[in-house]
A and B are shown apart, each in its own frame.
Chain A
Amino acid sequence: MQVMAQMAMVMNLDKCIGCHTCSVTCKQVWTNRSGAEHIWFNNVETRPGQGYPRTYEDQERWKGGWTLNRRGRLKLKAGGRLKNLSTIFAAPYLPGIKDYYEPWTYDYENLTTAPAQKHMPVARPKSLLTGENTTITWSSNWDDDLAGSVENTHNDPVLAKVSEKIRFEYEQTFMFYLPRICEHCLNPACVAACPTGAIYKRAEDGIVLVDQDRCRGWRQCVTGCPYKKMYFNHKTGKVEKCTFCYPRIEVGQPTICSETCVGRLRYLGLMLYDADRVLEAAATPDERGLYEAQRDVFLDPNDPEVIREAHAAGIPEDWIEAARRSPIRALISDYKVALPLHPEYRTMPMVWYIPPLSPVVDAVSETGEDGERHENLFAAIDRLRIPIEYLAGLFTAGDTRPVDGVLRKLAAMRSYMRDINMGWEPNEAIPESVGMTGQQMTDMYRLLAIAKYNERYVIPPAHYEDAHKLENIATECSLDVDGGPGMGGSGDTGGMGGIGGIGGMDGSFAENPARGGGSPVPSRPEGVRINLLNWNGRGTPEGLFPDAADASTKPTDPAHPGTGG
């Protein structure tokens, strides 16, 4: 047994309102840069839908993830090592920018500089790749809320698998949102596909990261990741991916997407697993056995043998304790309501989902029946095959039984808790009908419905044996390594071969409007440089003394009124 710890996430899809707050805050923090326009570490897809990038789930086309070879051993779907190296010059299954979307901006300047004319001036969309006028035809969530579903939804690879006969008719519509980040897989195909070895899984917490200094832009990981959560930055020529906000996780804070989630549907916590059994589980012959197989890889942090082995593996006590309190463990292993996304890709993903009951509830309510009654819901679960098969296509390689089971638990909880909340006699037959006790059901309800911040996010801070490392946290940013994104100073994208902005478009925001503004600065902001070379010897040099508010009342040299920028 080789005990390892993994930081994992569970999302409760019933609560996702599709507001995209998570995507936006994530982008603001991580990928709000030129070259990274199409990079959404977090994106929210409307399902049924094509996803982002378009049809990424069609592995016959994109060849992501693993398959089994004739001897039943794992091999990358895109091909073995030699094939990988020989296709390095033109990756055959790489999505093009059009499979994401062509990044654009608007010609805002025209709004203020256009001459007087009869019609309102407009800000035309301009391509950020060519600088030319462009027509926007797609984006990261173009088919949001089933927009254009008649044209688009039949391209959904999951729907295509459910039944060839289904025509997507408006009356049959069901829909839900699927927020996605990198899965931080236990058996990551991206790591395996990287020819350079620049991608790695952190031994402490299982977060999968790209070493930006070692990435050479061979792009094979983009093909390798079946979830297409490896993104090629077209300016830097390097690949970037979701970092699980590791600088925040290290100090015990939730990821940005979790922190800002409006529906509060994300849970974070540790899972202990047996690294020795990962490959065996990922090579389970039957695709539909993969969900169970992955669950069997997880270890029980209350088991004395596991604790002993965890200590032997150097996992600190507070981490084991955190694994015991982990909401992820409760949802995956105890209540068994969380399911992995596309286990059939065999990467052993570690962001799991509680499938949404709402399509079922909606269907019942629409018929005028009581959508809170477990009998009605159970009957609907049995009847509503299309949504259920669709969910099974997402979460259990098409096996509807686990999805049925989860939805029944959720339906039972709904019904059971309604009785309690209404002050009626709780009906113990309801939890029993799904193999749970009333106590378990109330606990699950607590976790799903009203869990507070520190119950949803159980994140042990990084464990530092050495005092000097503690100093590191206190004094510097984890990103602030040489060449890292947080590296002080200007971000140089390409070193010697650096390329300029296109047609001055993406450079236009580079000027800091705050700089040289007329208003007096109340005190010296952190990091302002004192430049004595610009100082003419009269008055006080900018930034040397902190209280500018005071300075503005002092008599200054009239010949040198401004700060000189």
Chain B
Amino acid sequence: MNSDLDLFLWLIFPYICLTIFVLGHVWRYRYDKFGWTSRSSQMYERDILRWANPMFHFGILAVFLGHVMGLGVPQTWTAAVGISEGMYHFLAISIGVVAGIGTIVGFVGLVYRRRFTKAVMGATSRMDKLMYLVLGLVIVLGLVNTGSQLVGDYNYRGGVSVWFRSIFYLSPKPDLMVAAPLSFQIHAILAIGLFALWPFTRLVHVFTAPLGYVFRPYILYRTRDAHEGSRSRRRGWDKVDTIPRRR
């Protein structure tokens, strides 16, 4: 039997946060495109940023892919293609630890320069600080969890992962999280909380990663007409037309 708190944490809270995550991004994209940027501070400080920022970002990209594998792909699928449990864990832990340590070292470098470079500190908002705190905790706990796989015998692919997917199947299984070790629980809660913060922080830049650059022509042209406000005019603010618009 679940306590109310368990129900809230592992069933209600995730849905609240996911809703905020989705609607928040829609809202931010519609109403604050101008604020949608990574707000780089490279101009102020580059010596630490030069190694720390790529290290953090490539690390976290690897971590993300690891989560897609670990949370998104059911155990039965990997088994079906002939990856044994031992093999999977060996790969997951070794790659995970390397990526995790890279991420943390990069993160520490970034936080250090943010704190101790006056100009960068001056450009840090309260929201940034909250986000760094939560993000840092999530990353540290994530690495702890990965490391704990070496000694512990908790099979997260049968627990946390199933619970995670169950949220999206709309048949959530909160009991699985109740049974998970504490460090997994905190990691999950903070991560979910981070998703709720996400649309209101500079993290939004992740969703406009410019992958299309590889395919587009170098030189872009736009007609003045198309440029006239890159966003369609808000409802109620249409101009008085003398000729019906063709568009």
Contact = CB atoms under 8 A, between A and B. Distances in A.
Interface of A: 81-82, 84-85, 88-92, 94-97, 127, 129-132, 187-188, 191-192, 195-197, 199-205, 209, 211-219, 232, 234-238, 250, 462, 466-469, 471-472, 475, 481-484, 492, 494-500, 502
Nearest to B211: A85
A237 B39 contact: yes
Given A129-B44, A468-B239, A213 B230 contact: yes
Given A129-B118, A132-B118, A499-B124, A200 B37 contact: no
B210 A201 contact: no
B161 interface: no
A475 B239 CA distance: 10
Contact of A191 (B123, B219, B228): B219
Contacts of B39: 217, 236-237, 494, 497
Contacts of B118: 129-132
Q: Main SS of chain A's interface residues? A: loop
B169 interface: no
B115 interface: no
Contacts of A187: 219
Nearest to A97: B43
A216 B32 contact: no
A199 B54 contact: no
A408 B217 CA distance: 43
B223 A202 contact: yes
Contacts of A495: 28, 32, 34-36
Nearest to B106: A89
A216 B38 contact: yes
A379 B128 CA distance: 66
Nearest to B118: A130
Contacts of A94: 42-43, 46
Contacts of A216: 36-38, 205, 208, 210
Nearest to B117: A130
A237 B44 contact: no
Given A495-B28, A496-B28, A496-B200, A192 B219 contact: yes
Given A200-B220, A216-B208, A234-B41, 18 more contacts: A84-B213, A85-B213, A89-B53, A97-B43, A131-B118, A197-B212, A203-B222, A203-B224, A213-B231, A218-B40, A236-B39, A237-B39, A467-B242, A468-B241, A469-B225, A471-B242, A484-B229, A496-B200
A188 B219 contact: yes
Given A237-B40, A468-B242, A129 B34 contact: no
30 contacts: A90-B49, A92-B50, A94-B43, A96-B42, A97-B119, A127-B119, A129-B119, A197-B210, A197-B212, A197-B213, A201-B221, A201-B222, A212-B34, A213-B231, A216-B208, A219-B40, A232-B40, A234-B44, A237-B37, A237-B202, A250-B224, A462-B224, A466-B243, A468-B239, A468-B242, A492-B35, A495-B32, A497-B201, A499-B122, A499-B125
B207 to A, nearest CB: 10
Contacts of B222: 200-203
Interface in B146-171: none
B81 to A, nearest CB: 30
A462 B211 CA distance: 35
Given A89-B57, A213-B34, A215-B37, A497 B202 contact: yes
Given A82-B214, A234-B123, A237-B37, A201 B242 contact: no
Contacts of B221: 200-203
Interface in B109-132: 118-119, 122-125, 127-128
A530 B53 CA distance: 50
A237 B38 contact: yes
Interface of B: 28, 32-46, 49-51, 53-54, 56-58, 118-119, 122-125, 127-128, 200-202, 205, 208, 210-214, 216, 218-225, 227-231, 233-234, 239-243, 245
A234 B122 CA distance: 11
B231 A238 contact: no
A415 to B, nearest CB: 44
A82 B50 CA distance: 18
Contacts of A96: 42-46
B237 to A, nearest CB: 9
A468 B37 CA distance: 34
A242 B125 CA distance: 29
Given A196-B210, A496-B127, A219 B42 contact: yes
Across the A-B interface, the 6 shortest Cβ-Cβ residue pairs:
A495-B35, A237-B39, A195-B210, A495-B32, A192-B218, A130-B118
B35 A232 contact: no
Given A130-B119, A201-B219, A216-B36, A467 B127 contact: no
Contacts of B50: 90, 92
B243 A196 contact: no
Nearest to B199: A496
Contact of B38 (A191, A218, A234): A218
Contacts of A195: 210, 213
A499 B123 contact: yes
A199 to B, nearest CB: 7
A513 B51 CA distance: 47
Contacts of A484: 229
A494 B219 contact: no
B46 to A, nearest CB: 6
A202 B227 contact: yes
B231 A483 contact: yes
